[in-house]
Amino acid sequence: MNTYLKLTSFFISSFFIQNAIADQPIPLKDYVQATSPDFNRKVLINDIKYPHAIFIADQQLWISERSGDISRLDLKTNKLIATFKIPNVTFTEKGQDGLLGLAFDPKFNKYNHRYIYVSLSIKNPNATDAKFPNQTVIRRYTYNQKTNTLTDEKTLIQGLPSSQDHQAQRLVIGPDQKLYLSIGDQGSNQFSYLTTPNLAQEIPSKLEIRAKNYQKYAGKILRLNLDGSIPRDNPHFNGVTSHIYTVGHRNPQGLSFTPKGVLLESEQGPNTDDEINVIVKGGNYGWPYVAGYQDDSGYAFADYSKYKGDQSALKDLGQNGLRVVPGVPVYQESSWTINNFIKPLKTLFTVPNDHNFNDTACGSMQYICWPTVAASSAYFYRGGKNAIPGWKNVLLVPSLKRGVVFKVQLDDKTHTVSKDSSEVLFRGQDRYRDVAASVDGSTIYVLTDNSGNVQADSGEGTSDLKHPGAVIEFKYAASK
């Protein structure tokens, strides 16, 4: 049995016997004081229009935008070099669609093996629902260093779910040479998709897979061969083998492998329970029946798609399912039973049922005060010749709502999280979208959103971002 399979088997057995410990929100004062004096902050570039992902390759920082633009930042000159515009990208300016996934072949810097993989939204000519006019596709391009362009476009898979909300679409390549893609629940059960059934627990039939009907891939993490086909050793769900690797996800925006081949994930919860997870083959992560731990604490599943009353009276009261319009079915977390449920490593944050979701401290943007951080990515820090002291087995998770990066310390052997194992770094009045580290490990790069709301130092919500659409460098002060 190889190392990857041994670790997978270990996590399946160990996670079922762990006891959950509820986390409490970090007070605002701790966020305000979070910027570490050990790092020097420098804004390298700003005014990126639709930033989404960054990646270090060829000693340069590659930047993607939801509009389809891919560029490179020369870290020696801080000059931005336009590289390519992915064609046919469909995106809404204030939505969560567009060019999202960005992954580089592990051999990108060697042997002229210059494949770049992307996931993106394009029009779906076969769409029958006006709320879902698009589809998600995965493409592969070849980077031509001489012409500084991407060539040889190849579509690996198409027809994947797409909406304007909860797309996720973090794309990574594992040590097993497989593509892993996170797909959110498409925003079902909230806002303009309030009455749309949630498919995070739905499994496609064999006939649907043969017909390439992938709509039930919503709320899943997929595992694909590099040509887009289904790996033979993928797990079975209800007797069906598909691209699905795990089920029961809400908005899993972060995926990152450790050097030992363990896949870590960050996931946005509803009003509570943003999650940090180990992704286990065949695992079920509970959504929408469970948010965070299965503890009946701070959340219940209100299924608005089954409301039979007057539709004009239907609305989400914003109480995390604990209080709803009469007639909306509500399911407690403990009422859901399944054998392969995987509880999170950590939640940000779990609160009791009497938590006040209408805190006036945030003014009109009350959701900013909810006990969530809007985890936007996940990055396992691998160090280097100038590694930051004490930063071994560290997962970095940027926050859209708080303007911090969470530094989560993991155990070397089990990758579990101890009770007081996270710190907040790099506090700023910005929405942190993605994070990466320099090859030598001395520098952390943070990509910020160009617009949106964040918690100000005063505690209130604000749309006044200090560094919109920027790449901010945090260089360890002791490094040369």
Q: What CATH number did the domain enclosing 174 receive? A: 2.120.10.30
Q: What does the pLDDT read at residue 17? A: 27
**Which phi-psi region, left, alpha or beta, contains residue 100 (left: φ > 0; alpha: ψ -120 to 50)?**
alpha
Q: What does the pLDDT read at residue 29? A: 47
pLDDT in tens, the chain (480 residues): 343 434 343 333 333 323 333 455 555 444 444 445 689 999 999 999 999 999 998 789 999 999 999 999 999 888 888 879 999 999 998 889 999 999 999 888 766 668 999 999 999 999 999 999 999 999 999 998 888 889 999 999 999 999 999 999 999 999 999 999 999 999 999 999 999 999 999 999 999 999 999 999 999 999 999 999 999 999 999 999 999 999 999 999 999 999 999 999 999 999 999 999 999 999 999 999 999 999 999 999 999 999 999 999 999 999 999 999 999 999 999 999 998 999 999 999 999 999 999 887 777 888 998 999 999 999 999 999 999 998 999 999 999 999 999 999 888 765 666 555 678 899 999 999 999 999 999 999 999 999 999 998 877 899 999 999 999 999 998 765
DSSP 207: H
Q: Residue 308, class by beta-carbon neighbours within 10 Å (0-12 exposed, 13-18 middle, 19+ buried)?
A: exposed
Instruction: Give the residue among 195, 232, 186 at the shortest CA–CA distance from 312.
Output: 195
Q: Contact 245/235 with Cβ under 8 angstroms?
A: yes
Domains held by the chain: number: 1
| Interacting residues of 20 by C-beta distance below 8 A, sequence separation 6+ | 293, 294, 295, 343
DSSP 184: -
* Residue burial 385-397, b: 16+ Cβ < 10 Å; e: rest: ebbbeebebbbbb
Q: Contact 159/166 with Cβ under 8 angstroms?
A: no
State the residue range of the domain holding 341.
3-476
d(CA 267, CA 6): 25
Tokens read off for 386: 């100038």
Q: Contact 274/266 with Cβ under 8 angstroms?
A: yes
pTM more than 0.85: yes
| Sole residue written with tokens 């901010």 | 472
Active-site annotation holder among 52, 113, 166, 355: 166
Q: What does the pLDDT read at residue 36? A: 57
Query: Would the CA dihedral through 420, 256, 341, 375 be positive or negative?
Result: positive
Q: What does the pLDDT read at residue 271? A: 96
Q: Contact 455/403 with Cβ under 8 angstroms?
A: yes
Let me know if 166 is a catalytic residue: yes
Q: Contact 278/343 with Cβ under 8 angstroms?
A: no
End-to-end Cα separation, the chain, in angstroms: 43
DSSP H/E element including 4: helix 3-15
